[in-house]
Structure 1
Amino acid sequence: MDSETVHIREIETVASHKGKLLRVTFEQRRLNGEIQRREREVYDNGDSAVILPHDPHRNTVLLTRQLRLPIFLRDGTERTLEACAGKLDGALAERRIVKEMEEELGYQIAKVQRLFDLYVSPAAIMERITFFTCFYSPADRITEGGGLKEEGEDIEVVEVTLMEAASMVAAGEIVDAKTVILIQYLSDRARASQRD
């Protein structure tokens, strides 16, 4: 774990339930050569995957609306619009996101397109998120979705046009970073294909 410029001195688990809150003491060689001792708290809640399904014929996307406690505690917003996502829990990202789509959205999709991996908040959170999109149609719907009750999920499936989703971002109705990234990505791709 050590490198030429970073040396880990101590990792202490401060809290451990669904994830781990770690206190890390390390030394870092600064650009000027000076050694600086630092301490940071890092949250490791596992890697995840996210997907924004797109129906190119109707130009629609599928979103979820559900309680996100940190947003509620901060802003009082009870239900947040976001893309379908889930923790990997050791599974391959492609397999896990297909299962999440069935559980949360009620759609069965055989093929997804992996886009990229990103760290959304790398200053304090270790989570790496794999981003996906896929094509879907109403014929792919197999259940009402809604998530798994035993996991506390109570998810509303929301279908809007890609243009409506982009307007919701601009209006501050969609505030989840991974969802904004996917909407922007699909919007850019749609504009590029219209020019071709």
Structure 2
Amino acid sequence: MTDKTAGVDLPDRRGRTGLDRTGRDLTGNPRVKVRDVRLLSSHWYVERTTTFDFQHADGTWSTQERETHDRGNGATVLLYDTDRETVLLTRQFRYPVYVNGHPDGMLVETPGGLLDEEDEHPEAAVRREVVEETGHTIGEIQHVFDIYMSPGSVTERVSFYAAPYGPSTRTHEGGGLEEEGEDIELVELPFRRALEMIRSGEIADAKTIMLLQWAALDGPFGAGRDGASRDGA
């Protein structure tokens, strides 16, 4: 009798099967031919080893192997108030940064999170996350860009947004979901102070830095507009 594997033949804890098929049908790059996909883990996120043939620029082929970490895609948003020249960020404990040298693991970030399902639209996800984390129900929202955050091993693509906030958009308590172990505090900062915190290292989260610098260059506090960022990031 052949042993069956959760995530392959049997549903894993999230009800998924066939996770070893991902990538086998890729045809977009004729220089890449996927030979084998092996599922390493599907506890919550998915770890795979993929073996593929790759054609180099000189025409020769080599067989290569890569591990990928699939945690799904995500979305994040910069909340800004141009009248008061402030941004609304969050602070929460992040064990991965704590174990990798961050003094206390309390990271200052833009709100956001993972898409609940593969077919969930990033804008819907980020609106939900903003309510859960900050208690604000945002209206107008701007799509900024979509970024692969760590393309060497992580498949995640993050959709970046920006939206105005203010006293009138506060509709819920915020603070995150207790059942998910979240304990999120709000950090409202003058925009200039947020830029200073990038320079000082107090803000060390990539997505947050990217959105703050976008806001200073092309966004709500950009050159030629009323705002605090004309001094640059």
Partner letter of residue 24 of structure 1?
A: T
CA distance in 2, matches of 1:28, 1:11: 15
Aligned counterpart, 1:87: 114
Say which structure is richer in strand: 1
When normalised by structure 2's length, the TM-score is 0.81
CA distance in 2, matches of 1:161, 1:8: 50
Q: How does 1:107-126 map to 2 (within 5 A)?
A: 107-126=136-155
Partner letter of residue 61 of structure 1?
A: V
Say which structure is richer in helix: 1
Partner letter of residue 62 of structure 2?
A: Q
When normalised by structure 1's length, the TM-score is 0.95
Aligned counterpart, 1:164: 193
Q: Which of 82, 85, 98 is 1:59 aligned to?
A: 85
Shift of 1:85: 1.0
Aligned counterpart, 2:222: 191
Instruction: List structure 1 runs of 4+ shifted beyond 2 angstroms.
Output: none
1:4 aligns with 2:30: yes
Residue deviations 1:49-95, cap 9 Å, x none? 00011101011111110011110111142311011011112221111
Answer yes or no: is the 8 Å Cα contact 1:42–1:126 preserved in 2. Answer: yes
Aligned counterpart, 1:98: 127
Q: How does 1:40-55 map to 2 (within 5 A)?
A: 40-55=66-81
Task: For residue 154 of structure 2, give the secondary structure of its aligned residue in structure 1.
Answer: coil
CA distance in 2, matches of 1:37, 1:78: 39
Q: Determine which structure has greater relative contact order: mean sequence separation of CA pairs < 8 Å that are 6+ residues apart, divided by chain length.
A: 1
CA distance in 2, matches of 1:35, 1:177: 35
Task: For residue 194 of structure 1, give the secondary structure of its aligned residue in structure 2.
Answer: coil
Aligned counterpart, 2:5: none
CA distance in 2, matches of 1:29, 1:37: 9
Residue deviations 1:156-183, cap 9 Å, x none? 1110011111111111111111111000
Q: Which of 22, 38, 45 is 1:19 aligned to?
A: 45
Answer yes or no: is the 8 Å Cα contact 1:47–1:89 preserved in 2. Answer: no
The share of aligned pairs that are identical, in percent, is 37
Task: For residue 54 of structure 1, give the secondary structure of its aligned residue in structure 2.
Answer: strand
CA distance in 2, matches of 1:121, 1:60: 29
Answer yes or no: is the 8 Å Cα contact 2:88–2:110 preserved in 1. Answer: yes
Partner letter of residue 196 of structure 2?
A: S
**The structure with more radius of gyration:** 2
Kindly report the root-mean-square deviation, in angstroms, between the aligned alpha carbons of the 2 structures: 1.2
Answer yes or no: is the 8 Å Cα contact 1:107–1:141 preserved in 2. Answer: yes
Answer yes or no: is the 8 Å Cα contact 2:139–2:163 preserved in 1. Answer: no
Partner letter of residue 54 of structure 2?
A: Q
